[in-house]
């Protein structure tokens, strides 16, 4: 099997390439330096050349514009990358008749209520980023039959910035932080997620899925556990989202129903607290 990964230098893409290598699955990683996915002709040319060199069997599409607040001021660009770029990838996947996995987000929902979101729930994005990812989902669904749409949330990994790195930096600098306690979800560790995505891509169990580490928490709970495991004496104050005005509205409810994974024989990710422990060891902060 040979798998093409877009966004290969990103937080998830880089871990995916490592996981594929561990499984002795041949992979090709491309990033913005190799391909502008918003250019339909270039996307077709580059991916078809990769396929001509040696046939690819699947595409895992991780490349995306992910700066959620900046997206509010750059709607055209975000839509071009996350929606039109995804369409361009999907069209090539259709031409080559290969499976495509599209990495999406809980932001495609309105973020209200307390019930965990199920994969086939009505989508109603609450910000520009979420709307662009939603449009990307629609293109994948309209163009392909062999597709996985995998929605993730609260992602952290070794590459790039994330909430954990920010908390540790602020905790060391200030000794105290305020963190919102009215947004509930599940952190997702990219090495754990990568194992699941590779488990999925070698099957034909297509459809929409949700994938996060197990367990729920607020960002406040997450921060408290970070400092506890990192053995840092930091005062953490819980506050409402209103205390931190941001450009892009954030979901209060990011709970995700993952029963479809179990129903299709996929192993759920470990508890987020365990993932955090392993991540801090990797960072040298535990």
Cβ-based neighbours of 261, under 8 Å, separated by 6 or more = 196, 209, 210, 211, 267, 268
Helix (H/G/I), strand (E/B), else coil: 181: coil
Q: What digits encode the pLDDT tens for the residues 196-227?
A: 999 999 999 999 999 999 999 999 999 999 99
Give CA–CA dist 4/151, Å, rounded: 19
**CATH node for 2-161+188-213+255-270:** 3.40.50.720
Which of 129, 134, 189, 209 does the annotation list as catalytic?
129
The residue written with tokens 């996060």 in the block is 212
Q: Which residues contact 152 (CB under 8 A, 6 or more apart)?
A: 103, 104, 105, 106, 188, 193, 210, 211, 212
Per-residue pLDDT tens digits for 22-44: 999 999 999 999 999 999 999 99
Kindly report the CA angle at 270 between 65 and 220, in degrees rounded to 5?
65
pTM summary value: 0.97
Asked if residue 133 lies in contact with residue 64, where contact means CB atoms within 8 angstroms, the answer is: yes
* pLDDT, mean over the chain: 97
Read off the pLDDT of residues 240-274 as tens digits, 9 standing for 90 and up.
999 888 999 999 999 999 999 999 999 999 999 99
Print burial letters for 7-19: b (CB count within 10 Å at least 16), e (below 16): bbbbbbbbbbbeb
pLDDT tens digit string along 104-135? 999 999 999 999 999 999 999 999 999 999 99
**C-alpha count within 13 angstroms, C-beta hemisphere, residue 220:** 14
Question: Which pLDDT belongs to residue 285?
Answer: 81
- The rounded distance, in Å, linking the Cα atoms of 163 and 171 is 12
189 is catalytic: no
Closest by CA position to 168, among listed 107, 232, 120: 232
Residue 194 to residue 17: CA distance in whole angstroms: 9
> If you average pLDDT over residues 183-196, what whole number do you get?
98
Which H or E element spans position 277? helix 272-283
Residue with tokens 């955090």: 276
Residue labelled with tokens 């046939």:
55
Share of the chain above pLDDT 70, in %: 100
Q: Mean pLDDT, to the nearest integer, of 130-154?
A: 98
Domain chopping of the chain, boundaries? 2-161+188-213+255-270
CA distance 197 to 191: 10
Residue 56 reports pLDDT greater than 90:
yes
- The CA distance from 24 to 17, in Å, is 11
């Amino acid at each position: 099997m040979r798998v093409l990964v877009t966004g290969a230098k990103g937080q998830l893409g880089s871990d995916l390439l490592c996981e594929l290598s561990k499984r002795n699955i041949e992979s090709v990683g491309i990033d913005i330096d190799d391909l502008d996915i918003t250019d339909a002709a270039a996307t077709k040319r580059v991916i078809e050349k990769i396929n001509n060199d040696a046939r690819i069997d699947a595409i895992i599409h991780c490349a995306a514009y992910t700066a959620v607040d900046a997206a509010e001021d750059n709607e055209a660009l975000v839509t071009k990358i996350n929606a039109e770029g995804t369409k361009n990838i999907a069209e090539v996947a259709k031409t080559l008749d290969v499976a495509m996995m599209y990495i999406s987000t809980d932001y495609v929902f309105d973020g209200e209520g307390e019930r965990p979101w199920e994969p086939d729930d009505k989508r109603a994005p609450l910000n520009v980023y979420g709307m662009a990812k939603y449009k990307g989902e629609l293109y994948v669904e309209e163009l392909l039959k062999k597709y996985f749409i995998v929605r993730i949330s609260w992602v952290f990994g070794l590459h790039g910035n994330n909430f954990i790195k920010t908390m540790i930096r602020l905790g060391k600098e200030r000794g105290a932080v305020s963190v919102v306690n009215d947004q509930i979800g599940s952190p997702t560790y990219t090495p754990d997620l990568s194992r699941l995505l590779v488990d999925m891509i070698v099957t034909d169990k297509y459809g929409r899925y949700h994938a996060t580490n197990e367990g729920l928490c607020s960002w406040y709970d997450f921060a408290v556990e970070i400092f506890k495991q990192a053995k840092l004496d930091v005062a953490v104050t819980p506050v409402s989202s209103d205390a931190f005005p941001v450009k892009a509205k954030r979901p209060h409810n990011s709970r995700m129903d993952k029963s479809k994974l179990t129903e299709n024989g996929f192993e759920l990710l470990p508890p987020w607290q365990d993932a955090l422990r392993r991540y801090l060891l990797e960072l040298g902060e535990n």
